[in-house]
Amino acid sequence: MPLSSNLKGFFCAFNHRIHGIERMEHLSGRKQMTQVTLATVCMNVAHDKKTNIEKYLHFIDEAAALNVRLLVFPEVSLQGYLKKRGSPGEPEVIEMTRYFRSTAETIPGPTTERIHELAERHNMYIQIGMAESARVGQVFYNTAVLVGPEGVVGKFRKLHDRGEWARVLQWG
C-alpha cells in the first residue's frame, strides 16, 4: 500500500510483505536521468530489540533484491515505541524507562556496525530509529541514524515531543 498518492518511489512493507514499489527519477550533476529506488518500512515493532533486528535483516534483504538505494525504518523501531504515557512514578513508566536505558546504544555501536555491513554489501543507505545512549550512558535520545556503505553518515535527535518521551528520552 503506498504511503501517499503524492509520494513516488516509496513502498510500504507491512507484516513482512511488500505491497507496491515505484522508481523515482532525478537529475544527477551531469544532467543525465538516472533511477533511484527509495523505500520505507511499516513494521510491527516489538519491545524486543533482538526481534526487531531480525525484522530489519529481513526487510533489508528484501529491499536489496529490489535494488533499493535508500531504505527508511520507523521511529525508535530498534527498541519499539512507547506503549503508555503517564507520570514518572507509575510502574509502567518506570519499567519503560529502564527498558529504553538498558537497550539504548551509542552511535556508532553494535547495531549501526551491523547495519553498516549490510549497507556496504548492498550499496544501500539505511535509516533506522533508535534510543541513543550518549555521555557515557547519562543522556538518552530518540535518534534517527543514517548508515551507508561508508559507515554512519549522520544522525538526527528528535527536537520536539508531545509529552510521550519527556520522562524517558531527552530532546536533541
Give the bridge partners for 25, in sequence order. 35
Lowest mean pLDDT across 14-28, 91-105, 115-129? 14-28
Position 163 confidence tier, pLDDT thresholds 50, 70, 90: low
112, pLDDT greater than 90: yes
CB 41 within 8 A of CB 74: yes
CA distances from 3 to 7, 8, 142 (A): 7, 9, 23
Instruction: Identify the top-confidence range among 81-85, 102-106, 133-137.
Output: 102-106
**What integer pLDDT is reported at residue 126 of this predicted model?**
97
Lowest mean pLDDT across 17-21, 58-62, 69-73, 103-107? 17-21
Mean of the pLDDT values across residues 6-21? Answer: 38
Overall pTM > 0.85: no
Give the bridge partners for 36, in sequence order. 24
Q: CB-hemisphere CA count at 13 Å for 116?
A: 13
Handedness of CA 121, 33, 41, 103 (dihedral sign): positive
**What integer pLDDT is reported at residue 166 of this predicted model?**
52
Question: Which structural domains are found in the chain, ordered by start?
Answer: 12-157 (3.60.110.10)
CB 76 within 8 A of CB 140: no
Separation CA 38–CA 92 (nearest Å):
37
Separation CA 54–CA 31 (nearest Å):
40
**What integer pLDDT is reported at residue 152 of this predicted model?**
96
Q: Which amino acid is at 153?
A: V
Q: How many helices and strands, by DSSP H and E, does the chain display?
A: 3, 8
Number of residues in the chain: 172
Separation CA 151–CA 140 (nearest Å):
22
Position 90 confidence tier, pLDDT thresholds 50, 70, 90: confident
Q: 18-67 pLDDT, tens per residue?
A: 444 444 444 445 555 567 888 999 888 998 999 999 999 999 999 999 99
Radius of gyration of the chain (CA): 17
Contacts of 20 (CB under 8 A, 6+ apart): 1, 2, 11, 12
